[in-house]
Structure 1
Amino acid sequence: MVDWSHENARAQAGPELVLLGGRVLSRQVAESDPGRWQTVLQDVYLSRETPRCLCRGRESPIPMYVERRGRTYSLKRTPGSGESHHQACPSHGGMDVSGVNGGSTSAIHKRSDGLLDIKLDVPLRTVQVGRGATAASAPTAATPTGAGSSRQQVKLLGLLHLLWERAGLHRWTPPAPEQRPRTLGDVYEKLRNELDDIVLGKSRASSIVYVPDTRLDDPAQRHKEALIAESYMHLQAKCPAGERPVLMVIAECRSFFDGKYSRGLRLKGFPDSMPIWIPASAMTQIEKGWNGRLERFMSAMGGSAGEGTRLFVIAGLQFSEKGALNWLYGSLMETTGRFIPVESGFEAQVANALVEEGRAFVKPLRYTGQEEVHPDFVLTDTKRPWYLEVFGMATPQYLERKRAKITHYRESGKLLWSWDAAAGTQLPPFPVG
């Protein structure tokens, strides 16, 4: 019998309400009382009951399931059910990306069971090059097994973009007065949901990619230490002799710091005892390739003009013999404070201005190919879509591309709003109607 008298169930509906073991709970219990949440999930897991999401109301429950990894239990949506959930529900997602961003390619293949099979351009395991050698320091360690395949590949950042888009995190709609703002915990949960529907190298992405929650109390940190180690050992057990697995992680950067031999990176939601150690050569590449993003991130850490900048990382890690997490490869993605991906400070200004004015928009993302025109933003609250372009450079090659873009919009009859930020002009008013 369902206990509808529970304090969190009086409305008998809501985007965060779930039915667990005959009781209705808000998913916010996962953060406000994690011990109780784990106990409830454990009871449901052991009883083999089917939890149900009530985001569509008590008359339209959506089946879910509880997953166990080590000593941690998680509430999961059933594969392929993401679009059935209410848009404000944490389980909403799984948006179809076929036919978008250059069309379907062999890099992203939708299987008959509805899962997406993705071919990455980075290795999921490496060749062991000798006792004591780490993949990060060995020149041949990053050679992917099974090289030579003619199948197209998705870049590491492309995978993060795809997850972001399937989760609907690239869209912004002004929240209703009763709706709480999107949190990092929401983002992490949505990303974990999407990993359940993706296959990497014949394995579920959720077994290869670790996304933490935001809890940092002592019990949670100890559980995460054990879970990360168990995940890596599980991957190692599946590796052929002489090879080492790669554990991928996705998280928001907390801080960079100097270690004795290399640079350290702390991630939000990761145990303090498990920083990511980045070798000097990799740190040089990061600073060279993502210099502007790092500057804005460091500025945000100091609470100056860059406040609100977030920096997410997707990285491949390997354990050292002493149990340290070493960086093998990775990529960074900058977002606004509300988790909208941006590629420059100018784009961040536009995204923040759109949010402040209560506009609805989409940030198109790249994950395969290079389409003819890729707008920076698209307004979705007008009668016809308006394509927003931010022109932030003035090099000859960039200006030539700028002219080609403007010509494309004009000849295709699309509505274009643009800001010549490189010329120092003020942000123009956004289109309405």
Structure 2
Amino acid sequence: MRQFLIGDQAFDDSSPEFLPQLERAYEHKLRPLCLCREPPVPMYIARMDDQFLIKRMPLSGRQHDPGCPSYEPPYELSGLGPLIGHAIQVDAATGATMLKLDFSLSKRANRLTSTVPSDPSERVLSDPKKLSLRAMLHYLWDTGELTEWTSLWAGKRGWGRVRSSLQNAARQMIVRGGPLSDILFIPEVYHQDDKEGISARRAATLAGAKANGPGPRKLMLIIAEVKEFSPARDSQKILVRHLPFPLMIDEGAWKRLNGRYDTELELWRSNEEFHLIVIATFGISSAGIASVEEVAMMVVNENWIPFENIYEQRLLERLSGLKRRSKKGLRFDLSRGQPIASVTLPDARPAPVAFFIIPTNVDEDYEVALSEMIAARPEMAPWIWRVAEGEMPRLP
């Protein structure tokens, strides 16, 4: 049972008055306070599938008590740590998150080719204090609480819930002076009985991506699940679910996409239950053709939890049956040559657990960074699986 302060009244989340109070607070834009600590921690109310839910404010997870469901493990255990205060800045007064991007949201008239951002390990970042396209996807997934799982949610997370979570997260974010939600398009789950309504809402949302004449034009962001890839004349089609038209990508960018994301594509093709998520900047030509400019991808399992390799997926599968909450760590802009905690169990007892999966052939720098990461967080109990040494160790 949790307690929240709404206005000047405290409510248990199990009390019959709680849900009606949430709806009224949502309408009046009141901010609930979590009473897990003193002073109470500000939160916000999100509307999902006609339900009202209390969500933690961006980057506020460490302010909650470790026993609170809204608590998050240290950001330094993932690729999020280096970005906080630089690429990601929170306005304490409003709770809005300002994001600095290293990709463009406009297209010059003479630019005709799509691009695929390279892996951070393969390039020197001109400004490491900005979010790449991949890091943007990771941050939305993380803020939308889609990196968290408990067996109690089995069968309750489909694309509709994923979409709502991402949209609610985007409403808290500001890019280039405006709400991220204004330029983010996420295909709506198709329902035959609402075909015309879905089409009208899609057209209204995509109006900002259409070319209106010569000169630079604005781009939008899309996040969608890939259905399949298919060849086209001098280009490729990315077919995504719940969208009646393809995203076009030129042949050169397609080849680079296959090279950059060969691991993700291999994992996706290995199991029908896995999903491939694409994020891209795109525009719509005067002829009505949607073409991507920059693109990145991520593979997720049947519970929509991201993973980097089959070893992480095996660990996630083992943990998925627990009623205890687990949280997947994401890489953001860190290279694969740097360690992160693959998963954490924030409310494990007697201490939270950080799971580290060590790939084969790591170098001395990796081992030093891993030791420093573990030593810097003595409150977390480390669990280490060295893949080169054999099967997964016993879970704590």
TM-score, normalised by the number of residues in structure 1: 0.68
Partner of 1:250: 223
How far is 1:206 from its partner? Answer: 1.2
Q: Do 1:93 and 1:190's aligned partners in 2 also have CA atoms closer than 8 Å? A: no
How far is 1:266 from its partner? Answer: 1.5
Q: Do 2:31 and 2:45's aligned partners in 1 also have CA atoms closer than 8 Å? A: no
What code does the residue aligned with 1:107 have? A
- The change in CA–CA distance for 1:95 and 1:369 in structure 2 (over 3 A counts) is farther
Q: Which has the larger radius of gyration?
A: 1
Distance 1:345 1:214 in 2: 29
Is the deviation greater in 94-103 or in 260-269? 94-103
Q: What are the residue-to-residue correspondences of 1:32-431 with 2, within 5 Å? A: 56-64=18-26, 83-85=43-45, 91-97=53-59, 100=75, 101-102=81-82, 104-111=84-91, 112-129=93-110, 134=112, 136=114, 152-175=129-152, 181-217=156-192, 219-220=194-195, 223-234=197-208, 242-270=215-243, 272=244, 274-299=245-270, 306-367=271-332, 374-380=340-346, 381-394=348-361, 397=363, 400-402=365-367, 404-406=369-371, 408-409=373-374, 413=378, 414-423=380-389, 425-431=390-396
- The change in CA–CA distance for 1:159 and 1:92 in structure 2 (over 3 A counts) is farther
Is the deviation greater in 341-350 or in 360-369? 360-369
How far is 1:324 from its partner? Answer: 1.2
Q: SS of the residue aligned with 1:102?
A: helix
Q: SS of the residue aligned with 2:356?
A: strand
Q: Do 1:252 and 1:268's aligned partners in 2 also have CA atoms closer than 8 Å? A: yes
How far is 1:367 from its partner? Answer: 4.0
How far is 1:113 from its partner? Answer: 2.8
Distance 2:217 2:203 in 1: 14
How far is 1:190 from its partner? Answer: 0.9
Deviations, residues 90-134 of structure 1 (Å, cap 9, x unaligned): 7443542268313632322223432211111111112212xxx64
Q: Indicate the RMSD between aligned Cα atoms, in angstroms.
A: 3.6
Q: Do 1:55 and 1:86's aligned partners in 2 also have CA atoms closer than 8 Å? A: no
Distance 1:192 1:173 in 2: 22
Deviations, residues 31-63 of structure 1 (Å, cap 9, x unaligned): xxxxxxxxxxxxxxxxxxxxxxx9943355344
Distance 1:86 1:330 in 2: 29
Distance 1:294 1:209 in 2: 24
Q: SS of the residue aligned with 1:318?
A: strand
Q: Do 2:108 and 2:217's aligned partners in 1 also have CA atoms closer than 8 Å? A: yes
Q: Do 2:223 and 2:280's aligned partners in 1 also have CA atoms closer than 8 Å? A: yes
- The change in CA–CA distance for 1:255 and 1:227 in structure 2 (over 3 A counts) is same
Q: Do 1:128 and 1:242's aligned partners in 2 also have CA atoms closer than 8 Å? A: yes
Gaps of 5+ in 2: 1-15, 33-41, 63-74, 76-80, 116-125
Q: SS of the residue aligned with 1:93?
A: strand
Q: SS of the residue aligned with 1:334?
A: strand
Q: Do 2:135 and 2:332's aligned partners in 1 also have CA atoms closer than 8 Å? A: yes
How far is 1:315 from its partner? Answer: 0.5
Deviations, residues 312-339 of structure 1 (Å, cap 9, x unaligned): 1111111133211111111111111101
- The change in CA–CA distance for 1:107 and 1:248 in structure 2 (over 3 A counts) is same
- The change in CA–CA distance for 1:373 and 1:297 in structure 2 (over 3 A counts) is closer
Q: Do 2:229 and 2:239's aligned partners in 1 also have CA atoms closer than 8 Å? A: yes
Q: Do 2:247 and 2:292's aligned partners in 1 also have CA atoms closer than 8 Å? A: yes
- The change in CA–CA distance for 1:241 and 1:204 in structure 2 (over 3 A counts) is farther
Higher relative contact order (CA 8 A, sep 6+): 2
* Identity across matched positions, percent: 20
Deviations, residues 355-404 of structure 1 (Å, cap 9, x unaligned): 1354431112244678985211112333201111112232x53x641354
How far is 1:426 from its partner? Answer: 1.5
Gaps of 5+ in 1: 1-53, 66-76, 138-148, 300-305
Q: Do 1:277 and 1:326's aligned partners in 2 also have CA atoms closer than 8 Å? A: yes
- The change in CA–CA distance for 1:429 and 1:118 in structure 2 (over 3 A counts) is same
